[in-house]
Amino acid sequence: MLYWVLKYILLGPLLRVLYRPKVSGLENVPADGPVIMAINHNSFVDSIFLPLVVKRPMTFLAKDEYFTTPGFKGFWMRTFFKGVGQVPIDRSGGNASEAALHTGVRVLESGNVLGIYPEGTRSPDGKLYRGHTGVARMALAANATVVPVAIQGTRDIQPAGKTIPRVKRLSIEIGKPLDFSRYEGMDNDRFVLRSMTDEIMYEIMALSGQEYSDMYASRAKKLIAERNVAVTSPASE
């Protein structure tokens, strides 16, 4: 209930007026059945704007810190993220990653729309980074349709580290569904999973026009942080 109240009464109308999202390709979202929306990730607010324009309710897998923060702030964070369809997952790796995949598959097997950022984390510099194969595993395990999505402009609206968003227009380009039926039953083949993931990332790149970097975004963040430390350290002066 809160999802629909936020989308159509409280939050949605205001954001539509302020940010005037330009949307194309809405007809590419299947009207029913399990669907993965595979999205590039430049800002925290990506998870807010896409559900505003997609007619079907969307679920995102969100880091569990959003649901475990104590106190008054934590209460409102939990209420908001549950209200906009977020499901908590542990992103620490290992068994936690497997549990996150199983959670995503359960969402899809219920016939729902799942939003996934194949890059795993926000791009540190606006480039599109290598996708993790979890998106492919979930698609095959749940026999889900994969729809590539490119969101542009949210990096300017709310850059990493900024708490107050700017008012700027954004665009959302929804690509045609990808057919991976040829790989049915091959969700444990790592070469198949990599091939599928690379195809998904290529389609996102074609929609977004972003420069592609064949490394994981988490690795890029680490390298950028190390470089910034080296530049500002006394030894470099």
pLDDT the model gives residue 47: 87
pLDDT the model gives residue 68: 75
Domain of residue 140 covers 2-236
Handedness of CA 7, 10, 11, 17 (dihedral sign): positive
- Residue 6's region, left for phi above 0, alpha for psi from -120 to 50, else beta, is alpha
Predicted TM-score (pTM) of the model is 0.87
CATH number at residue 89: 3.40.1130.10
Residue 148's H or E segment, with its range, is strand 145-152
Maximal C-alpha separation, the chain: 60
Residues whose CB is less than 8 angstroms from the CB of residue 66 and which lie 6 or more positions away in sequence, other chains included: 77, 78, 81, 86, 88
How many structural domains does the chain have? Answer: 1
First and final CA of the chain: distance in angstroms?
A: 57
Average pLDDT per block of 10 residues along the chain, 237 residues long: 74 89 97 97 90 92 74 74 70 71 93 94 95 96 97 91 87 96 92 98 98 96 87 58
